[in-house]
Amino acid sequence: MNINTPPLALLVLLQTVVSAASLVVEIVAGRMLAPYVGMSLYTWTAVIAVVLAGFSAGHWWGGIMAGKPQDTALKQTGWVLIAAALSTGIAVVVLQTIAGPVMSTVTHPLWAIIVLCTGAFFLPSLFAGVPAPVLAQIGAQTADNSGRALGALFAAGAIGAIAGTLLAGFVFISYLGSTVTLGLVAAVYVALALLAFWLAGSLPRAAIAAAVLSLGLAGYALASPSPCDTESDYFCIRTIDISDSPDEPVRMMVLDHLVHGTSARNTPTLMYTDHAAMLDTLAMLRAPEPAFSSFFIGGGSFSLPRSFAAREGHGPITVAEMDPKVTEVAARDFWFDRSRATVLHQDARVVLNRSPQKYDLIIGDAFTDIAVPQHLITREFFQLVSERLTPQGSYLMNVVDFEDNLQTLGAMLRTLQTVFPVLEVWVEERQPVAGERMVFIITAGNAKTSQASFTTLSPNPARYGALSDAMLASIMSKDTLILTDDFAPIDRLMGLRPD
């Protein structure tokens, strides 16, 4: 082997770290897009597609560079890694800058996701894809066994990708946050760039200046305001005060880009959204006894558990909330007293599956973006719910669907009908706006609610009623799909809204 040729082990290390860094950026991309477009199947599809497109273009470019003399190829790789550091370090600034104009001009949600992701994260992926062909070419030409060298470098890329994915998901975002993680990746790219220049046998002053500039811009990005008050493993969490008076605070919890609850300090039983008002009143109407037991699927701002706990003689309250940070924020900012309920930081389906405990009311109010998570809408899950209800118990479920669609609502009803003998759908009694995103509450059990309509505050007086049996039959007749653990296409059923 030529004495000027880098050892294979060093090439393998370089490829491993580049791959790890690039996958960290991919995972962070999904997290950083969530405050603007939510976290859904479409978000991750767009992220993966854009990142893979960047890698592919980078590999093609790197293949051209790989045909050049070794020192030239390594110098150019160093410059590319500087560019990777620069584009990664300022990705958060780019995203914040383009988010407003993109969201206001690109009305189709899928295209908005793709444009945002491309604008902020295509270039980091492009530059990260360049080194692999260069390092493979050098390793194959100089090693005693080219096949072994290529195998080692391909394996290094895969191992680095695995390591980067695990580190981003389980360590970096949890302990550092998205912006600091991108700053760290930028610093890693700078170190790798300097290594590439050193391997090439020269370190231009311009490269040092560019490296310093990259780190400086990454530092500037760190100083930019975050859209999150708290960044958890699951959500970008914000608390927004909407009070008219500081003596009567009212706060709104935003998870990623959607409001997930509103509470007033002085009036814990006053609801501020249609779904909460319906759930709260229907729970009181359908409870088999005053000291009823309740199980909540999802906590959010904990407005409903707090309302239940504020009533005299309430029974045991259990809340399954996946995100401990959400619970912390609810206790800190939304006046939720954790001593008044049992809070389990686990998936609700796991909790119900492991414990045989029965409840008078089970309330489903968990969402990923505007859709209920897939594993909480299937026949198998609804069967589990029915097994955890007391004989007079009820299941209440919050569903969002569009006025001109109702495929989601229909699929939920058809699926619930395979388990529960009596179903109702509650909605505000008013004429919907064409194409409106509507909120429905499904009740499921062995009997109908004691009244067909009611008026309550949300926070202004509003009247809600149950749809007629004929209307339910019409909604269910539009399709035959039954949602199962094997097939529950909730994102397709929700549909992408037209321009």
Least confident of 40-44, 112-116, 229-233: 40-44
Cα radius of gyration (the chain)? 27
pLDDT-derived band at 140 (thresholds 50, 70, 90) equals: confident
Axis-axis angle for helices 178-200, 70-89 (nearest 10): 160
Closest CA to 362 of 447, 245, 445: 445
Predicted pLDDT at 360: 98
Closest CA to 346 of 369, 374, 306, 319: 319
Does residue 60 carry a pLDDT above 50?
yes
Alpha helices in 67-145 (DSSP H): 70-89, 91-105, 109-129, 131-142
pLDDT-derived band at 307 (thresholds 50, 70, 90) equals: very high
Phi, psi of 300 (to 5 degrees): 60, -130
Cβ-Cβ contacts under 8 Å for 365 (sequence gap 6 or more): 275, 279, 296, 297, 298, 300, 304, 397, 398
- The Cα–Cα gap between 168 and 372 comes to 26
Chain segment 352-374, per-residue pLDDT in tens: 999 999 999 999 999 877 788 99
Q: What would the mean pLDDT of 200-226 be, rounded to a whole number?
A: 88
Dihedral of the CA atoms 421, 427, 431, 432 (nearest 10)?
-100
6 DSSP assignment: P
103 contacts 96 by C-beta, under 8 angstroms: no
Does residue 3 carry a pLDDT above 70?
no
Residue with more model confidence, 41 or 45 = 45
pLDDT-derived band at 147 (thresholds 50, 70, 90) equals: confident
Average pLDDT, the chain: 92
74 contacts 134 by C-beta, under 8 angstroms: yes
Predicted pLDDT at 223: 84
Q: What would the mean pLDDT of 100-117 be, rounded to a whole number?
A: 88
Cis? peptide before 35, omega within 30° of 0: no
Whether the CA torsion 360, 366, 372, 375 is positive or negative: it is negative
Predicted pLDDT at 495: 67
Beta bridge partners of 294: 317, 361
Domains of the chain with CATH codes: 8-226 (1.20.1250), 236-494 (3.40.50.150)
Buried b / exposed e across 17-28, counting CB within 10 Å, b at 16+? bbbbbbbbbbbb
pLDDT-derived band at 498 (thresholds 50, 70, 90) equals: very low
Phi, psi of 438 (to 5 degrees): -110, 155
Q: What would the mean pLDDT of 11-26 be, rounded to a whole number?
A: 96
pLDDT-derived band at 143 (thresholds 50, 70, 90) equals: low
Predicted pLDDT at 405: 86
pLDDT-derived band at 309 (thresholds 50, 70, 90) equals: very high
Chain segment 362-420, per-residue pLDDT in tens: 999 998 777 889 999 999 999 999 999 999 999 999 999 998 889 999 999 999 999 99
Residue 254: HSE in the Cβ half-sphere, 13 Å Cα cutoff:
17
Alpha helices in 143-204 (DSSP H): 146-167, 173-175, 178-200
450: exposed, middle or buried (Cβ count in 10 Å: 0-12, 13-18, 19+): exposed
Number of H helices, E strands in the chain: 18, 13
